[in-house]
Amino acid sequence: MLYILLFYIFLFVFSIFVLFWFNYWMTSMLTSVNGCKFCDIVKNKKELQLKEKPTCVVVNDIKPKAKHHFLVISKQHISKPTDLTVADVPLLEEMERTGRELLREHLKKEGEADTVEDMLRIGFHLPPLLSIHHLHMHIIYPISDMGLISRKLTFRPGKVFKPARELIEQLKEEAGVPDPLEGNPAKDDMHEKIPAQAIT
């Protein structure tokens, strides 16, 4: 009985990965034939943009996994996070900062004090779990709204979803950039808490 159960679990997991790879292949084909959807949003669909900065724009995710689910899209066409180098760190930091600003603005309108970091997920899907081959960062809040599959599989930090901070630190480490906070207790406090009332 146990072997049968394990077999079905394996079959289920295998089916999910086959589905992901199929989606990855199909998306690559569509992108190469029909053009990039996110480039079109950046250049031609200003009405969808919630916030714009010199390097990125923010839109709502069309399939939100939580009450607040934004996509921060790079204006520069970069296919995937694995194509990034340390030279792209300023872009990633600007994308994260922009997404956080918009989230705080929304929370302020709803009368909430500020972002609860433990309830916030910021990051990128990695191949093969890419829906569109154009760099975009997910801002999801609160993660308690997420369904079981999203929270434990598709948006779980790990092999298919890379938190933004981890990606930035990884790029710096690979390039041999020294950490200015190494040995400093402040390193544990990665994000400055900005009160919602400070946003105008």
Cβ count within 10 A of residue 180: 7
Helix (H, G, I), strand (E, B) or coil at 139: strand
* 68 has catalytic annotation: no
Tell me the C-alpha distance between 114 and 107, whole Å. Answer: 7
Q: Is the peptide bond before 128 cis (omega within 30 degrees of 0)?
A: yes
For residue 136, which of 67, 54, 60, 23 has the smallest C-alpha distance?
60
Among 68, 69, 125, 136, which one carries the catalytic annotation?
136
CA-atom Rg of the chain in angstroms: 18
Contact between 151 and 143 under an 8 Å Cβ cutoff? The reply is yes
Tell me the C-alpha distance between 81 and 167, whole Å. Answer: 8
Active site positions, annotated: 136
